[in-house]
Structure 1
Amino acid sequence: MIRVDGRINLRGCLLLVTGILMLVNLYMIFMVAPTDAVLGHVQRIFYFHVPLAIVSFVAFLAVFIASIAYVFRRETKWDNLAHASAEIGVVFITLALVTGMIWAKPVWNAWWLWTPRLTTTLILWLIYVAYLMIRSYAPSPSKAAIYGAAMGIIGFADVVVVYFSVQWWPGIHPTPVVGPLADTGSLDGTMRSVLLFSMLTFLALLTYLIMERMALQDTVDQLRGIRFSLRRAARQDAIPGD
């Protein structure tokens, strides 16, 4: 796993590091982080929910940057990065929505409330699900790349809306605990340290999954190229007189 053909396997090393980080992260969440005085143990899902949401924003930022790069350079590697980041980002934002609902039930006595933060996050989820659907149903890989790049650039605007929604439309949703709008007094030192470590852990997981997805896409592209070459050779062999 660590070495392939005598060379260091970067993905294998990252997988090992991510696995260790996950184990340490679980220990810190359940054994190190103090129990919240108001919410009790249900607050611990916060150490999953917030990192999942923030890391999904990072994934969609990667889609945005890679899409711009593809528009200007038209290199397949940028399209593959955008596609992989969108797929993994959708997984993370889905888990963020689910963990948020699990937290909301005992705290708000409802699985879902149509607050500005939840509504804009659901719209964000729909945008990137639509991104994946458009790519799947595009008439050709080149069209899929172009359509995806356009949507990846435009769709990122909702990430900004989601983050600032609590400030623009105040409601019952907690204020941000990371980033420029973070309420520095909302967490004690230990809670903040555990949260930051959890974000690092999920960021490592995101990086590993994107790398694996891109490696898989490279294999698919190679097989597609081989299949095209074989078909072209078969057509040439079928032409009389050659």
Structure 2
Amino acid sequence: MKQGSTRGLPGWRFAQGVGALAGVVMAIALYMAFVYAPADALQGDVQRIFYLHVPMAWVAFLAFFVTFIGGIGYLWKRHRGWDQLARASAEIGLVFTTIVLLSGSLWGKPIWGTWWTWDARLTTTLLLWFIYLAYFMLRSYVSDPERAARYAAVLGIFGFIDVPIIYKSVDWWRTLHPGPVVSTGGAAMPGSMVVTLLVALAATTLIYAYMLYQRFWIERTKDEIADYHYRLYERQLAREMREGASV
């Protein structure tokens, strides 16, 4: 395996297939978003941001759910693989949440007349972003890897509580943010828009799966390199102690 490459790792060929499929489905989703789906009767073409914004939000929630599961797995089993999975997924979730906030602002300016408003859903989403930013800050400030993993697992578990709050915020509080586009009462938009949304969601999910594979193995490799350097340090220290004792 070449340095810096995941070639030859378990599941590599499958992951490459997922990555290729993600590219194809995303190309289809972009075509549908800009050509196939009609312009919204009230919002016009700015509504097309919705086909990026909503899938990114859904998959960000999925990423933080995986971090939640990884945190539970690490606290239960104390196996480093669970922590590697949790932090790989949290990193992707943080990136996707950033895109959600930015795309929401791009939509909000022409529709609401402002880049930002302290709406319940926007505020709770921003809180989620800060929680997982703190997740990585915590890991960087705690020098002991095991303690960092343990503290981060707890934060990742409790931080996920904000996800259902975000989802239900439009029901619990008065909010400017649009309600669910698909609910038990049926879709709140034409079928062509629903199909476009579902294709975009599939593309984003595939991208997440591919990125998670890549990030997981990067995190595992980083830990292996850190372990190797620590073993070298121990050997060097032991050799210096033996040489000092023999003098």
SS at match of 2:143: coil
Mapping of residues 3-152 of structure 1, within 5 Å:
4=8, 9-152=13-156
Aligned residues: 238
SS at match of 1:209: helix
Deviations 1:45-97 (A, max 9, x none): 00000011111000111111111111111110100111111111010011001
CA distance in structure 2 between the aligned counterparts of 1:96 and 1:16, rounded to whole angstroms:
24
Opposite residue 233 of structure 1, the aligned amino acid is R
Contact 2:71 2:82 in 1 (8 A): yes
Opposite residue 164 of structure 2, the aligned amino acid is V
CA distance in structure 1 between the aligned counterparts of 2:76 and 2:118, rounded to whole angstroms:
39
- Superposed CA RMSD in Å reads 1.9
Contact 1:2 1:13 in 2 (8 A): no
Partner of 2:215: 213
Identity over aligned residues, as a percent?
Answer: 42
Contact 1:11 1:211 in 2 (8 A): yes
CA distance in structure 2 between the aligned counterparts of 1:139 and 1:227, rounded to whole angstroms:
15
Deviations 1:138-159 (A, max 9, x none): 1211111011011011111110
CA distance in structure 2 between the aligned counterparts of 1:171 and 1:9, rounded to whole angstroms:
46
Mapping of residues 142-181 of structure 1, within 5 Å:
142-178=146-182, 181=183
TM-superposed deviation, 1:230? 2.0
Gapped regions of structure 1 (runs ≥ 5): none
Contact 1:34 1:191 in 2 (8 A): yes
TM-superposed deviation, 1:2? 11
SS at match of 1:9: helix
Deviations 1:186-227 (A, max 9, x none): 111110011011111111111111111111111111212221
CA 1:220–1:190: 2 relative to 1, 3 Å: same
Deviations 1:107-166 (A, max 9, x none): 111111111111111111111111111111112111110110110111111101100000
Relative contact order, higher structure (CA 8 A, sep 6+): 2
Contact 2:187 2:194 in 1 (8 A): no
CA distance in structure 2 between the aligned counterparts of 1:207 and 1:8, rounded to whole angstroms:
12
Specify which of 192, 196, 200 is matched with residue 194 of structure 1.
Answer: 196
CA 1:189–1:222: 2 relative to 1, 3 Å: same
Q: Structure 1 length normalisation: TM-score? A: 0.92
Matched, 1:228 2:233: no
